[in-house]
Amino acid sequence: MLLIKVYDSTFTTLLETIKGDLILWDITFTWNVNWWLGNTTIQIWKEITNTDYNLWNIIKIVKYDDNNKNWADLYLWYVVKIWRTQTTSRQYIELSCLGIASVLTEKGIGKAYANKPAGQIIREMITWIAWLNFDITTIPDWPNMWTWTVNWTIAQCITTICESINRKWFVDGNGTVFFFQKPTTPTHYFTNRKDVESIEIKEDMQEMVNTVYMVSADLIQNSSYSDAVSVATYWTKYYTEQTRIYWQTALDLYAQNYVNARKDPKKETTIVVNRQYPIETIKPWDTIKIRNFEYAFDNIEIIKIQYTQDKCILYLDRYISFGEQIKSLVN
């Protein structure tokens, strides 16, 4: 059973709890790795008043966990648009919402850091958003120090640091920011023709990058990196960037990880999973294994999920090589 909890704009006072049977239409949304919940629209069967809802209300969806016998926080949004409608038969209110961490794309930073640990920089940025908190166990100082002049949004800054230290990040249903590396074993095991309804695989080499040249904005530091195997197989796919990273070690890591993430052909793979699997437990940072395939399909990372009430669509890691892992589907 799902419930919708409505909070005030400070996320401190619970204003209302809405039962699922008052929701007129299915709630659909996406959730990305290195990102957060996408936008959603919620239609509520309710009498219109001057005090029903406000812009900046916080919306939380919770679900009763039958195994643990408690309510689990799933998703978190804030209200950016409100439509109130009266028809001949009913009144309803439509709330258009953005994922709680979308504010990270709006808040800009103009600041210089000198020889400061990456973890300290990230923790400082997160504290600027009152709705968010962080899991300190996943954001240590990390050994690499940063000398960096920032003139980006918080989201751009966090993602750039993550690429240099081989991490990804997400914001959970309670506004907590986590950082992580790819799991070493599958998080979910799916079964073809049971909880997996369909799978689609596309392959494209046009967006590959196997050679980069990075230079700091002051033109003092520079770094180049190339993957010899990829160049020999696909020819040189070149990319250059002028960046605000001024510390040589961080620049080297950024260049290397940029290539490692893009040196193979892009594989766009989508899998539809139905309600025979508890889809609320699937998160964008998880990895999967699918049974009943002709070839092994093991520990592939989810980078995006599109949820509906009855199923979800999983978008898998675009740069993992599937050539030997999936040769064909079971007919």
Q: Is the pLDDT of residue 24 over 80?
A: no
Domain membership of residue 97 (yes or no) is yes
| Pair 23, 42: CB distance under 8 Å | yes
Mean pLDDT of 214-238: 91
Q: Is the pLDDT of residue 75 over 50?
A: yes
Strand, helix or coil for residue 98: strand
Domain membership of residue 327 (yes or no) is no
CATH code, 86? 2.40.10
CATH code, 135? 3.55.50
Mean pLDDT of 118-146: 84
| Pair 75, 61: CB distance under 8 Å | yes
pLDDT tens-place string over residues 261-274:
899 888 788 999 99
Domain membership of residue 221 (yes or no) is yes
Q: Is the pLDDT of residue 245 over 80?
A: yes
Q: What is the pLDDT of residue 326?
A: 32
Distance, CA of 53 to CA of 92 (rounded, Å): 12
User: Based on the domain organization, do 233 and 193 belong to the same domain?
Assistant: no
Domain boundary among 42, 70, 103: 103
pLDDT tens-place string over residues 31-47:
766 556 677 888 888 88
Split at pLDDT 50, 70, 90, the class of 318 is low
Q: How many CB atoms lie within 10 A of CB 307?
A: 22
Q: What is the pLDDT of residue 212?
A: 96
Mean pLDDT of 137-161: 82
Q: What is the pLDDT of residue 67?
A: 67
Residue 274's alpha-carbon distances to 25, 65, 282, in angstroms, are 18, 18, 12
Residue 200 or 267, more confident: 200
Mean pLDDT of 303-307: 85
Domain membership of residue 16 (yes or no) is yes
Split at pLDDT 50, 70, 90, the class of 309 is confident
Q: What is the pLDDT of residue 37?
A: 65
Distance, CA of 248 to CA of 19 (rounded, Å): 54
Distance, CA of 33 to CA of 248 (rounded, Å): 27
User: Based on the domain organization, do 128 and 162 belong to the same domain?
Assistant: yes
Q: Which helix (H) or strand (E) holds 123?
A: helix 118-127
Domain membership of residue 329 (yes or no) is no
User: Based on the domain organization, do 60 and 142 belong to the same domain?
Assistant: no
Range of the domain at 155: 107-180
pLDDT tens-place string over residues 82-128:
999 998 888 999 999 988 878 888 788 888 888 888 888 889 998 88
pTM passes above 0.75: no
> Within its chain, how far is the Cα of 66 from the centroid?
26
Q: How many CB atoms lie within 10 A of CB 106?
A: 11
Averaged pLDDT of the chain = 83
Distance, CA of 107 to CA of 119 (rounded, Å): 19
User: Based on the domain organization, do 197 and 291 belong to the same domain?
Assistant: yes
Domain membership of residue 322 (yes or no) is no
Count of structural domains, the chain: 4
Q: Exposure of 193 by Cβ count < 10 A (0-12 exposed, 13-18 middle, 19+ buried)?
A: exposed
User: Based on the domain organization, do 15 and 46 belong to the same domain?
Assistant: yes
Q: What is the pLDDT of residue 296?
A: 57
User: Based on the domain organization, do 58 and 95 belong to the same domain?
Assistant: yes
Q: What is the pLDDT of residue 110?
A: 84
User: Based on the domain organization, do 131 and 242 belong to the same domain?
Assistant: no
User: Based on the domain organization, do 217 and 234 belong to the same domain?
Assistant: yes
Residues 6+ apart with CB under 8 A from 16: 5, 6
